[in-house]
Amino acid sequence: MKNQLAHFCNFVTVNFARLELPLTVRTQISTDLRLLAQVLDWFNQFYRSTIPQSVWLECQIALAEGFTNAVRHAHCGKPIETPIDIEVTFQECAIELRIWDYGAGFDLEQCLHELPEPANQDYGGGRGLKIIQQTADRFSYTAVDFQRNCLLIVKQYCDFQQCKASAY
């Protein structure tokens, strides 16, 4: 089974500690929820000790929710071969996650407004966008080229003064 799953994804291992920032890494993966663990493994290879653990965990959650939403909602009914592109940009003070899908798109602000707040943690679904909203400093969902949409999630891990000081 693992060999079958590996066929549907395109991962590259990188020694992140030796690379200069900003750094952008990309992968393309099939529309298959069984690949979520591999998506997270790919992402985790880029962890640096300069990124607070709490920020990293929030980025993992946001990536998992974004990928899951692309599979379950944007690509619902589409062939498993339909690609999901994932791009991560690491900067001195922020991590930017981009997840591209081939879905019909939707109005993010309206959807967030209409989603009910789950009464408890046992609520079965529909919390992905709310979770991303809570973990991200900024996020958007925009129609882009080639009939695709891009979910952008930005997480900052130092304040403006620290970022400005590290630039000198």
Report if residue 47 sits inside a domain: yes
- Asked if residue 87 belongs to a domain, the reply is no
Residue 112: band (very low, low, confident or very high) from pLDDT cuts 50, 70, 90: confident
pLDDT at 80: 96
Inter-helix orientation angle 53-69/36-44, to 10°: 150
pLDDT band, residue 151 (cuts 50/70/90): very high
Within a domain: residue 143?
Answer: yes
Q: What is the DSSP letter of 150?
A: E
Q: How is the beta sheet containing 83-90 ordered, strand by strand?
A: 9-10, 23-30, 83-90, 94-101, 148-156, 138-144
Least confident segment among 111-115, 150-154, 158-162: 158-162
Tokens 């929710």 map to which residue? Answer: 65
Which residues neighbour 155 within 8 Å (Cβ) at sequence distance 6 or greater? 55, 58, 59, 62, 94, 95, 97, 135, 136, 137
Model pLDDT, residue 68? 96
Domain count within the chain: 1
Tell whether 165 is covered by a domain. no
Whether 54 maps to a domain, the answer reads yes
pLDDT (tens digit per residue) in 30-83: 999 999 999 999 999 999 999 999 999 999 999 999 999 999 999 999 999 999
Identify the pLDDT of residue 127.
75
Per-residue pLDDT reduced to its tens digit, 113-143: 777 665 555 555 567 888 899 999 999 999 9
Q: Evaluate whether residue 28 is within a structural domain.
A: no
Range of the domain at 73: 3-7+34-82+101-148
Q: Would residue 139 count as lying in a domain?
A: yes
